[in-house]
Amino acid sequence: MDYAIEVKDIWKKYRIYHDRSYTLKETLLFRNRNRYEDLWALKGVDLKVKPGQTIGLIGQNGSGKSTLLKLMSRIIYPTVAASE
């Protein structure tokens, strides 16, 4: 069946840096201090929408709604995507 929108196994990761340097001097002097943690915004999301069907994205703050819409409109690209 053809779908109007089809998303298969999409993953998106962001890096959250704790010690951010603001100047070139700080970057050069403290280059080994960049500590970060990985934040997975989306993990294995699947979505299929038939032509004419209406959907709504509902969730808590930080659940990945805007990230999913940005991925679908190709403003940003997935970290991991299913190969077809």
What would the pLDDT profile of 27-57 be if each residue is shown by its tens digit?
777 776 667 889 999 999 999 999 999 999 9
CA atoms within 13 A on the CB side of 31: 4
* Alpha carbon distance 37, 10 (integer Å): 20
User: Is 79 domain-assigned?
Assistant: no
User: Is 82 domain-assigned?
Assistant: no
Domain coverage including residue 66: 5-72
* Whether residue 25 has pLDDT greater than 90: no
User: Is 80 domain-assigned?
Assistant: no
User: Is 67 domain-assigned?
Assistant: yes
DSSP 24: H
Burial of 45 (0-12, 13-18, 19+ CB in 10 A): middle
User: Is 60 domain-assigned?
Assistant: yes
In the chain, the number of structural domains is: 1
User: Is 50 domain-assigned?
Assistant: yes
Q: Where does residue 32 fall: left (phi above 0), alpha (psi -120 to 50 degrees), or beta otherwise?
A: alpha
